[in-house]
């Protein structure tokens, strides 16, 4: 049985209620931390655990916590990033919906470690029904004395609020999130200063993903060293993966980091293989922003080593032949998938979600989408393909926030690995004119030959 740290009790009936959750060992980390540990000791355990941020960038959580300006006179804040809007990623939703108290418990323990007296869960507006679930859970926690004044009779007090966004992917970027939480337009801020120094209301702030905060519970309960034994190397612990696409068993899986990618896709424990007996064509391993990889490169690295579900192994080969673990949005495509259409869909998303603050992203995302739309619908030129590569290159690294990069990477990687498919669309406009062309013969088999050649 693989190790489960987050979803162990997910199938227990009524685990969403305080009572059941508590009966299964819930809120033990709060008791342990508040009654037997200093805040710094909690931070120390998180450092030892090697836990890395689960929101996408993989920044070590303990290190981020230690950057928090503790000398400042201002209040400190912990903000949970539950904006989860990356196409392909739906793990936080599952966790909050099924086992909301795990997040609340993590928020209390983490807030104690950081010395926050007020904390927020910023959740995407589309998750309105989860807002209600969380608010109910928070109410229960207040009633049980785990929130509010003098928690469990200790001097520590905490208030916790849920704040819904208004439906913008960009508000998942931590500084845009803070702007939005302050009631302003959700534009990312220029960094530095980083939130650890000047975050919410210009006060020291830590922003962490839902899963990161939930992981703090088992770190405090079992100790950082124990947590670090799970996983592989610097990729410690377990990770929630949202698997979607052409697989037999899409869903959210908790995996121990270090699992071979091949096993994740093909074993019955996880994705259960490619549907309809088809072949694997490509995978977007960490949410729509990360580079797409063709089958042979997702299963094995360019060096021929087995590819593992770790931050390091997935990144092996850099952006030439590797990708990123990202937020764990694992999108699988079978042999019939049209890479151009898929890329156009992603580009449409980034175009729609750019905040419009800086010129390369504002103008470049729209440009790429329009060119891809033309190619996909049979109106492309050969020079459009290099144009796309160049536009992506001119966005990447030149913007205020990483959304620009997130828009550029899929384009650059799809063309790097599947250029012949783009050329096919340009060469045979009549064959791609049908909007469902990617499902039709002879397009399917002809393209297959191309990719096998």
Partner 1 sequence: MVKVTIDGIEIEVAEGTTILNAARQIGGDVVPPAMCYYTSLKDSGGKCRVCLVKVTHTSTKDPRPMPKLVASCRTNVMDGMVIQNITSPEVLEARKGVVEFLLINHPLDCPICDQAGECDLQNLAYEHGVAKTRYEEERRTFEKIDIGDKIKLHMTRCILCYRCTFVADQLTDNRVHGILGRGDTSEISTYIQKAVDNDFSGNMIDVCPVGALTDNTFRFKSRVWFTKPLDAHRNCDKCCGKVVLFTKGDEVLRVSARKDKYAEVTEYICNECRYDHKRLSDWVIEGPRHIDRNSVISQNHYEKIDLLKLKQEIERQIDFEKGKQLPEPNQSLTA
Ligand X SMILES: Cc1cc2nc3c(=O)[nH]c(=O)nc-3n(C[C@H](O)[C@H](O)[C@H](O)COP(=O)(O)O)c2cc1C
Binding site for ligand X (CB under 6 A): 53-57, 59, 61, 64, 81, 83-86, 169-170, 172-174, 207-209, 212, 401-403, 406
Judged by beta carbon distances under 5 to 8 A according to partner kind, the member of ligand X, partner 1, ligand SF4, none in contact with residue 174 is ligand X
Judged by beta carbon distances under 5 to 8 A according to partner kind, the member of partner 1, ligand SF4, ligand X, none in contact with residue 397 is partner 1
Judged by beta carbon distances under 5 to 8 A according to partner kind, the member of ligand X, ligand SF4, partner 1, none in contact with residue 352 is partner 1
- Of 14, 47, 77, residue with least CA distance to 225: 47
Judged by beta carbon distances under 5 to 8 A according to partner kind, the member of ligand SF4, ligand X, partner 1, none in contact with residue 168 is partner 1
How far apart CA 327 and CA 290 sit, in angstroms, is 9
Task: Return the range that interacts with partner 1 (CB under 8 A); candidates 212-220, 260-268, 382-390, 442-450.
Answer: 382-390
Q: Does 176 bind partner 1 (CB under 8 A)?
A: no
Q: Are 425 and 340 in contact (CB under 8 A)?
A: yes
Q: Are 366 and 407 in contact (CB under 8 A)?
A: no
How far apart CA 331 and CA 292 sit, in angstroms, is 9
For residue 220, the SS3 value is helix
C-beta closer to ligand X: residue 236 or 321:
236
The footprint of partner 1 on this chain (CB under 8 A) covers a number of residues equal to 32
Select from 83, 84, 174, 353 the one that contacts partner 1 (CB under 8 A). 353
Place of tokens 């993966």: 241
> Which residues here bind ligand SF4, judged by CB under 6 A?
170, 188, 354-358, 361-362, 399-401, 403-404
Q: Does 190 bind partner 1 (CB under 8 A)?
A: yes
Q: Give yes or no for a cis peptide into 239 (omega within 30° of 0).
A: no
Select from 177, 265, 274, 400 the one that contacts partner 1 (CB under 8 A). 400
How far apart CA 422 and CA 426 sit, in angstroms, is 7
Closest CB 176 distance from ligand SF4, rounded Å: 8
Q: Does 372 bind partner 1 (CB under 8 A)?
A: no
How far apart CA 261 and CA 265 sit, in angstroms, is 6
Which long-range contacts does 363-370 make (Cβ < 8 Å, 24+ apart)?
364/391, 364/392, 364/394, 364/395, 364/404, 364/407, 364/408, 365/395, 365/404, 365/407, 367/391, 368/392, 368/407, 368/411, 369/344
Residues that bind partner 1 (CB under 8 A): 168, 170, 185, 190, 351-360, 362-367, 370-371, 386-387, 390, 393-395, 397-400
């Amino acid at each position: 049985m693989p190790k489960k740290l987050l979803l162990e009790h997910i199938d227990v009936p009524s685990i969403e209620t305080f009572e059941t959750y508590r009966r299964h060992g819930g809120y033990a980390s709060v008791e342990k931390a508040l009654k037997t540990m200093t805040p710094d000791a909690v931070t120390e355990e998180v450092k030892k655990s090697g836990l890395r941020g689960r929101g996408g960038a993989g920044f070590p959580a303990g290190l981020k916590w230690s950057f928090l300006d503790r000398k400042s006179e201002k209040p400190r804040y912990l903000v949970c990033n539950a904006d989860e809007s990356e196409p392909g990623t739906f793990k936080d939703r599952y966790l909050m919906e099924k086992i909301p108290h795990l997040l609340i418990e993590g928020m209390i323990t983490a807030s104690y470690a950081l010395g926050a007296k007020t904390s927020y869960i910023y959740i995407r507006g589309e998750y309105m029904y989860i807002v209600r679930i969380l608010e109910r859970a928070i109410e229960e926690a207040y009633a049980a004395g785990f929130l509010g004044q003098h928690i469990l009779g200790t001097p520590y007090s905490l208030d916790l609020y849920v704040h819904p966004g208004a439906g913008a992917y960009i508000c998942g970027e931590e500084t845009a999130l803070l702007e939005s939480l302050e009631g302003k337009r959700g534009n990312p801020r220029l960094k530095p200063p980083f939130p650890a120094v000047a975050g919410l209301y210009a006060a020291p702030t830590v922003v962490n993903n839902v899963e990161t905060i939930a992981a703090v519970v088992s770190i405090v309960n079992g100790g950082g060293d124990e947590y670090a034994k799970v996983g592989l190397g610097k990729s410690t612990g377990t990770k929630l993966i949202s698997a979607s696409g052409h697989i037999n068993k899409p869903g959210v899986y908790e995996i121990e980091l270090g699992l071979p990618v091949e096993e994740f896709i093909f074993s019955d424990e996880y994705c259960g293989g490619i549907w309809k007996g088809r072949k694997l064509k490509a995978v977007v391993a960490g949410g729509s922003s990360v580079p797409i990889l063709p089958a042979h490169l997702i299963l094995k690295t360019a060096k021929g080593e087995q590819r593992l579900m770790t931050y390091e192994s997935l990144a092996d080969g850099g952006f030439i032949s590797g990708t990123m673990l990202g937020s764990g949005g694992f999108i699988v495509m079978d042999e019939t998938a049209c890479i151009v259409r898929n890329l156009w869909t992603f580009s449409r998303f980034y175009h729609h979600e750019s905040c419009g603050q800086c010129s390369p992203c504002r103008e470049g995302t729209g440009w790429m989408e329009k060119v891809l739309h033309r190619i996909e619908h049979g109106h492309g030129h050969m020079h459009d393909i290099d144009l796309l590569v160049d536009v992506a290159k001119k966005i990447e690294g030149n913007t205020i926030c990483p959304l620009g990069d997130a828009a550029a990477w899929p384009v650059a990687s799809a063309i790097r690995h599947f250029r012949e498919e783009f050329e096919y669309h340009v060469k045979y406009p009549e064959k791609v004119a049908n909007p469902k062309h990617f499902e039709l013969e002879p397009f399917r088999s002809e393209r297959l030959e191309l990719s096998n050649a």
